[in-house]
Homo-oligomer: A and B are copies of this chain.
Amino acid sequence: SDPYLAPLAVVQTPSHSVTSLANHRTLATDQELFTTSLHSPGSPLFLPNGAHIFNKLLSFLRAQHQQYGFQEVITPTIYKRSLWEISGHWANYKNDMFEVRGRGASGQVEGAEIGEEAEYGLKPMNCPGHCLLFKSQKRAYRELPIRYADFSPLHRNEISGTLSGLTRVRRFHQDDGHIFCRPSQILEEISLTLDFVSMVYKTFKLPPFKLVLSTRPKDNYIGTIEEWDVAEQALKGALERSGRRWDINEGDGAFYGPKIDIVLKDSDGKEHQTATIQLDFQLPQRFGLQYHAPAPELERRGIHTNDPELLRESGEVSPVIIHRAVLGSLERFMAILIEHCNGRWPFWISPRQAVVLTVNGSDSVRGYAKTVQSCLSGLIVSRDEVDGIRSPQFINQQTFLVDLDDSNRSLGKKISEAKRKKYNMVVIVGQKNVQSCTVHLDLTGQPDRDRAKSLLSKAARRIVIEDLKS
């Protein structure tokens, strides 16, 4: 493969596993997760249930970003050709990019302003934007590592015939991160990243993954052999420290740096490359990124010194960039999760956490069922006594998605629909419950029952929750 295209594969295109994940579309239709449109092929439209899961993934990652020292940034969707020329995309990646023009540009509008002729590219990745952010301020060695995270929508012009569900798309999002660090910090950063990956895959109870290190190619590489040795030693050190098995692909690294691939084997034995950790000596050079450090000669080689003579001198050094994505494409990760859970979502991420069913259609039961729904949702709707305006909900208030089925159908039918829809909890309310202020709870659809019951009980406040004897 063309080594020059490899930087763009930092986050791999989701081409490897179309067959094994075909089934995610059926499950997604059942659960009303997303739809597609001929008006925008390859750009899934997330329905509320799908957007809920997507946003829960983001919230989860944001909470982890805090403990791993990532700072979220928000960067443009389109950049002028001038940026893609610096990054090298215009020359090497143009057929995979969408081109953008102001409508006044191509002679369609008379008297279009000068400068409106600019060609733009719709971004296929976030790295160039993060380089602009790094470069927007003077940087000193004390500030490093700087770790940027970004969830921007990205576009790649995949051939229309291959588009499918969430796995083969033109518009997608990554849990994209770029670490700008000193050469001496590579080991620690890779180590932290591997810890991050392990934590996430363990949280989702995904099968064990394989680590593969790709090293310096025999010919055609940039940087000195010493720089490569420092980097590869750091990567090996981090792999050893992780305590996991890892393999090596000698000479298979990109010309601009070594990398570690994380390969997941699903229950069908199919392999999915999800996370990637890619070192990059090149992009900092292309963008002229620098930080100020004492003893710059040693700094470049990843060596710290206490020698006052050497420390007296200071100068500019290029940071190393580590591209990393833990989930990879969020869309693709969702497809993996859909299949992995077989539509039965862990409670915290589920778009169908609970449903309240009425035993009969009497007014008192229906009224009480509405109260139960509102209690269990965790929302506290109140109004200011003076001006009558609603009070704002707190940002950190824990809330639940609770639906209500108070239709006149038989309880049996309502239960079987609730089970087909894979609600984590089925809450049943009859005449006796109205008097005793209780509900019956069916947790058959819930993996971790004790935790779920305790969460719900907390939300329920005055309402007593009884397990269903069934």
Interface residues of A (CB under 8 A from B): 32, 35, 37-40, 43-48, 50-52, 54-56, 59-60, 62-64, 66-67, 71-80, 82-83, 94-106, 108-109, 113, 115-116, 120, 122, 129, 132-133, 136-137, 148, 152-153, 155, 157, 159-161, 171, 195-196, 198-200, 202-203, 243, 348, 377, 379, 381, 387-399
Contact = CB atoms under 8 A, between A and B. Distances in A.
B398 A133 contact: no
A439 to B, nearest CB: 21
A153 B77 contact: yes
Contacts of A45: 73-76, 129, 132-133, 136
A76 B73 CA distance: 21
Judged by DSSP, the binding face of A is: mixed
A171 to B, nearest CB: 6
Contact of A395 (B46, B59, B108, B202): B59
27 contacts: A37-B79, A39-B79, A39-B82, A40-B80, A43-B76, A45-B129, A45-B132, A45-B136, A51-B71, A51-B72, A63-B395, A63-B399, A66-B379, A67-B393, A76-B171, A78-B122, A78-B155, A95-B104, A95-B108, A99-B101, A100-B100, A101-B101, A104-B157, A115-B160, A116-B157, A199-B392, A396-B397
Given A67-B381, A159-B113, A77 B171 contact: yes
A45 B120 CA distance: 16
A202 to B, nearest CB: 6
A63 B99 contact: no
Given A122-B122, A202-B387, A203-B392, 8 more contacts: A50-B74, A51-B73, A56-B395, A63-B399, A64-B392, A78-B171, A198-B389, A200-B392
A379 B199 CA distance: 16
A344 to B, nearest CB: 20
A51 to B, nearest CB: 5
Given A78-B122, A133-B35, A95 B109 contact: yes
Pick the most buried of A67, A72, A243, A399: most chain B CB atoms within 10 A of its CB.
A67
A396 to B, nearest CB: 5
A133 B80 contact: no
B129 A392 contact: no
Given A45-B132, A113-B159, A390-B67, A72 B94 contact: no
A9 B48 CA distance: 26
A339 B48 CA distance: 35
B161 A113 contact: yes
A18 to B, nearest CB: 18
A79 B38 CA distance: 9
Contacts of A202: 387, 389
Contacts of A59: 395
Given A51-B71, A73-B51, A129-B45, A63 B397 contact: yes
A201 to B, nearest CB: 10
B98 A98 contact: no
Nearest to A71: B48
A140 to B, nearest CB: 12
A379 B67 contact: yes
Contacts of A153: 77, 152-153
